[in-house]
Amino acid sequence: MGFAPSSVASRGAIILNKLLALITRGFLDASSYRLNFIGTYFGGVLYVVFYALLARFIGKPPAGVQAYGDYFTYLLIGSTFVRYLSLGMKHFSRELEKQMVAGTIEPLVATATSPAFALLGVSAWILVEGVLVMLLELAVGVFVFKADLARANWPAAIALAVLTLVALNSWGVISAAFVVVFKRADPLNWFVDLTAFIFCGVYFPVTLLPIWLRVVSYALPLTYAIEGLRGALMQGRTLGESGTHALILIAFDLLLIPTSIAAFRYALAYTRRTGSLGHY
């Protein structure tokens, strides 16, 4: 049986209102700790200052960077986007663990809200705040330290970023399923921070790694995302010209989306069967 257009629109409005309510709640919670809230944005600016100083110290762009342009812009794009995109792999499990400890999950699940939306929606503000920090860092990089984004192809960059975020959010849902079942953070979360900055080409091209380590790099979606984003923002490549990167990211999406759905369904079924959602 299908839904009438008005019914679909009404359901969509309800979901949107709930999402906005969760984002507002996340903002109010985060901003209530003012020093930490301000520190998040101040820390983003300090990252940009560090990369500007590092680029000035290095001087001439290292081997493999010249094809893109200046080293500061290379670092800015790599760091800004990898830190935001890696949120997709970590924020669901971290925020869910925090809310389970605080005891705020059970009352939300008791409302007329789907369990999946209630468990994952509490992380909505983290993604929004990540966008704000990323935009602040890019703005400081461009207007203060003169990062060169004159040739940037923003539609291609946004498309690649969305493809990557879908893949990494899917991994984040798998990580959240782990928290729901085992009441502990995903033990692989530490691996995200380690691999993102060493193996994904944030500071230097992946081609500088030994061949046996490149295998790790090319098994990570962030590697293709950062290469594609640098091509789009520093060289003006279109999505078609970054077709290989886009296709690989789509392949990651096709693998991780159904896996994440299956994992979270299992986690919800497990908590219903054992009555363990409130246990921590």
Give residue 152's domain range.
9-274
| Residue 74 pLDDT > 50 | yes
Q: Quote the CA–CA distance of 76 and 44 in Å, as a whole number.
A: 11
233 confidence band (pLDDT: 50, 70, 90): very high
In-domain check, residue 1 = no
In this prediction, residue 228 carries a pLDDT of 93
Q: Tokens standing for 78?
A: 């790599």
In this prediction, residue 7 carries a pLDDT of 66
Please state whether the predicted TM-score (pTM) of the whole model is above 0.75. Answer: yes
185 confidence band (pLDDT: 50, 70, 90): low
* pLDDT per residue as tens digits for the range 169-179: 888 888 888 88
* pLDDT per residue as tens digits for the range 30-53: 888 888 889 889 999 999 999 999
Residues ≥6 apart with Cβ < 8 Å to 105: 96, 99, 118, 119, 122, 277, 278
In this prediction, residue 280 carries a pLDDT of 47
Least confident of 70-79, 92-101, 264-273: 92-101
Least confident of 98-107, 207-216, 241-250: 98-107
In-domain check, residue 3 = no
Go through 199-215 and write b for each residue having 16 or more CB atoms within 10 A of its CB, e for each that does not: bbbbbbbbeebeeeeee
In-domain check, residue 71 = yes
In-domain check, residue 141 = yes
247 confidence band (pLDDT: 50, 70, 90): very high
In-domain check, residue 138 = yes
In this prediction, residue 4 carries a pLDDT of 57
Domain count, the chain: 1
In-domain check, residue 2 = no
Average pLDDT value for residue range 68-96: 82
Higher pLDDT, 66 or 192: 66
In-domain check, residue 44 = yes
* pLDDT per residue as tens digits for the range 88-126: 666 767 766 666 666 556 665 566 667 666 666 767 888
In-domain check, residue 280 = no
Cβ contact 257:166 at 8 Å: yes
